[in-house]
């Protein structure tokens, strides 16, 4: 491994598990609830957040010495909003199909707490390259949880994965449905996303007891 130093590599691997934005820092829960009813949407959201967070982190990091501390949150908001709008416009002009798939997510990206959180906690105090890695790492940690939740919600709620009927056809009663299996419609509602995230947190902290906070 000559590409990344040990310290830099940690910026990417840490948020995947022991410092995961969703399960440990409890950031970005809102969008995790909203869009994980199907796997495809989870993946698209994960990729979009990664792009915005990585670029945004670099921009904020480049400006870190000239941003007045009194209005730094506003500056961060302006940067992320401008970035998202430009990306949205460019997609609409040159990749219209893709922009239609992304439509709902664009608004959600701006409001994602992870983005503001990383700008504030990391990019304002670190060099661009490290901020870039931090953005990639945190977005990956966020995306990982999104994809896990999306996987279970789509599988158990609709009996499909990425739209493919993996468990058989519920109306024609083929596959698993032939022996009396039923989709759990409750999985499609947002409370179940919270419960799935809760189960992930439970498993993660059982495996690594150092993560349990004592009060």
Partner 1 sequence: MENRTDKNSYTIIFAIVMVLIVGSLLAFTASSLKPNIAENKRLEKQQNILYAMGVNENDETSANFVSTDKAPELFKKYIKKQLVIQDGKVTEDDEAYLIDVKKEQANAKSGKARRLPLLEGEKDGKTFYIAPIRGKGLWDAIWAYVAMDENMVIQGAYFDHKGETPGLGANIKQRFFMDDFIGEHLLDASNNFKGIDVSKSNADPKNEDKTDNEVDAIAGATITGNGVAAMIKSDLKLYVPFFKNLKNN
Among 1, 69, 182, 210, binds partner 1 (CB under 8 A): 69
The answer to whether 12 touches 57, Cβ cutoff 8 Å, is no
Among 26, 30, 82, 125, binds partner 1 (CB under 8 A): 82
Interface with partner 1, residue 86, by CB under 8 A: yes
Among 30, 73, 85, 178, binds partner 1 (CB under 8 A): 85
Measured between alpha carbons, how far is residue 167 from residues 153, 162, 184, 193 in Å?
Answer: 14, 12, 13, 21
What 3-state class would DSSP assign to 161?
strand
Among 30, 178, 185, 199, binds partner 1 (CB under 8 A): 185
Report how far residue 84's alpha carbon sits from residue 200's, in angstroms, rounded to the nearest whole number.
Answer: 30
Q: Which is nearer to partner 1, 100 or 127 (CB)?
A: 100
Report how far residue 170's alpha carbon sits from residue 101's, in angstroms, rounded to the nearest whole number.
Answer: 26
Draw the binding track, 144-183, toward partner 1 (x: CB under 8 A; -: no contact): ---------xx--xx----x-------x------------
Interface with partner 1, residue 191, by CB under 8 A: no
Q: Which residues of 183-193 are buried (b: 16+ CB within 10 A; e: fewer)?
A: beeebbeeebb
Report how far residue 102's alpha carbon sits from residue 37's, in angstroms, rounded to the nearest whole number.
Answer: 15
Binding interface with partner 1 (CB under 8 A): 34-38, 40-41, 65-71, 74-75, 78, 82, 85-86, 89-90, 92-94, 96, 103-104, 107, 153-154, 157-158, 163, 171, 185, 188-189
């Amino acid at each position: 491994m000559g590409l990344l130093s040990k310290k830099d590599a940690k910026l990417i691997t840490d948020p995947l598990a022991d410092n995961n934005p969703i399960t440990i820092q409890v950031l970005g829960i809102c969008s995790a609830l909203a869009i994980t009813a199907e796997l495809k949407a989870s993946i698209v959201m994960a990729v979009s957040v990664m792009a915005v967070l990585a670029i945004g982190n670099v921009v904020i990091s480049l400006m870190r010495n000239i941003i007045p501390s009194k209005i730094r949150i506003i500056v961060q908001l302006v940067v992320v909003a401008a970035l998202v709008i430009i990306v949205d416009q460019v997609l609409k002009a040159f990749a219209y199909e893709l922009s239609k798939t992304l439509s709902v997510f664009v608004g959600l990206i701006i409001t994602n707490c992870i983005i503001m959180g990383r700008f504030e906690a990391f990019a304002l105090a670190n060099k661009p390259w490290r901020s870039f890695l931090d953005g990639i790492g945190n977005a990956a940690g966020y995306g990982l949880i999104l994809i896990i939740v999306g996987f279970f919600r789509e599988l158990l709620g609709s009996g499909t994965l990425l739209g493919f009927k993996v468990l058989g056809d519920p109306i024609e009663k083929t596959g698993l449905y032939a022996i009396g299996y039923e989709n759990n419609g409750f999985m499609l509602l947002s409370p179940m996303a919270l419960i799935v995230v809760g189960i992930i947190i439970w498993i993660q902290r059982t495996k690594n007891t150092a993560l349990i906070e004592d009060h």
